[in-house]
Homo-oligomer: A and B are copies of this chain.
Amino acid sequence: MVAQPLAEFNLIARLCRRLPHGRRTLLGAGDDCAVMAPSRFPQLFTIDSMVEEVHFRLEWTSPEALGARALTVNLSDIAAMGGRPLAAVVNLAIREGLEQRFFDRLYRGLGRAARAAGVDIVGGNITRAERLEITIALLGDAPHGAMRRDRARVGDGIYVTGTLGDAALGLRVLRGEAQAPPAARRYLVGRFHAPTARLGAGQKLTRLRPCPAAIDVSDGLWQDLGHILERSGVGAEIVAEALPLSPAYRAVAGADITLACRGGDDYELLFCMPPRFGEKALARRLGVPVARIGTIVRGRRARLTGGGRHRRESFAGWDQLRNLST
């Protein structure tokens, strides 16, 4: 209804045409729907959105990295269920001031991330908005069943892959709110801009019996653990000293675990399962570093033990919109 014709035409079809498809995609972008061969496994379906000035700023990132990240945050939801990503559709809300070349580069990054994950970008839509927004819906399947948030049981160990708080600290560095030596800065900012979806580890976890409870750490350990506790009807004890911190994190934040607890955007996996395996055996099995950070207990709350001044920190409930302020 705002009559301001744009010069770009058929942008989505043009962008998508360059992206190769696997054999499963019978008809890609350019029709009313994409058509895909059916899968015989349970289907996974999710949608996520990244909004300029809310989730990213263009002056902080290359278009390629932005495209890759927009897909990765979606892939992480498939990873948290232990699934295989199969196909994605992309809704681009575009604003004035962005050129064709920007979108070519955005799609180059998106395409690279898609190829690496075995995902076909099968279509999309384009509209006008006040800010750039990339909304992606992903379809996957779960050959060995899906990990859920409501399956944590009293006595389970609580585990995370990789390290926590790096992305949130990287964001502080980008904002000029934290100072970091060059190598630490590169590492932390890279963890914010170029997260990894733990797809392989997630798929391997679904082969264990009982199937673990899991979630990805997108909004911060505290909040995402809260989802598991709420859905499973259990509590948790987290040991502050057990939280996995990267050397770069320690170099900048020392022993302050606030961001490791509260920061978001790490896209590591948080999972709960009977403590049959040691950390090293689990890490070998999953192919990624694993730390046991606590235990599922009765109750409805998470308690942090150790860690000095953070000792009595606890929480009940969570706020889905908190990620807006990270």
A binding-site residues for B, Cβ under 8 Å: 1-6, 8-13, 26-27, 30-49, 51, 53-57, 76-78, 80-81, 83, 87, 89-91, 93, 122-131, 133, 135, 137-142, 146, 148-150, 171, 214-216, 231, 317-322, 324-326
Contact of A149 with B54 at beta-carbon distance under 8 Å, contacts A35-B43, A38-B41, A40-B38 already known:
no
In the complex, are the beta carbons of A129 and B126 less than 8 A apart? no
Contact of A149 with B31 at beta-carbon distance under 8 Å, contacts A1-B57, A324-B4 already known:
yes
In the complex, are the beta carbons of B1 and A77 less than 8 A apart? no
Interfacial chain B residues near A325, Cβ < 8 Å: 1-5
In the complex, are the beta carbons of B137 and A31 less than 8 A apart? no
In the complex, are the beta carbons of B32 and A215 less than 8 A apart? yes
Bound CA–CA A158/B265 (angstroms): 51
In the complex, are the beta carbons of A44 and B33 less than 8 A apart? yes
Q: How many copies does the complex hold?
A: 2
Bound CA–CA A6/B140 (angstroms): 32
Give the shortest distance, in Å, between A141 (CB) and chain B (any CB): 7
Give the shortest distance, in Å, between A11 (CB) and chain B (any CB): 7
In the complex, are the beta carbons of B324 and A128 less than 8 A apart? yes
Contact of A48 with B91 at beta-carbon distance under 8 Å, contacts A13-B320, A42-B36, A142-B35 already known:
yes
Q: Which 6 A-B pairs have the closest CB atoms?
A: A137-B137, A130-B130, A3-B325, A32-B80, A33-B44, A47-B89
Bound CA–CA A80/B31 (angstroms): 9
Interfacial chain B residues near A93, Cβ < 8 Å: 49, 51, 133
Interfacial chain B residues near A317, Cβ < 8 Å: 9
Bound CA–CA A39/B43 (angstroms): 9
In the complex, are the beta carbons of A38 and B43 less than 8 A apart? yes
In the complex, are the beta carbons of A77 and B33 less than 8 A apart? yes
20 residue pairs of the A-B complex, CB under 8 angstroms, read A1-B56, A1-B325, A2-B325, A3-B324, A4-B324, A10-B318, A26-B42, A31-B150, A31-B231, A32-B46, A32-B80, A35-B142, A35-B146, A36-B43, A47-B89, A51-B93, A54-B127, A54-B128, A93-B133, A139-B139
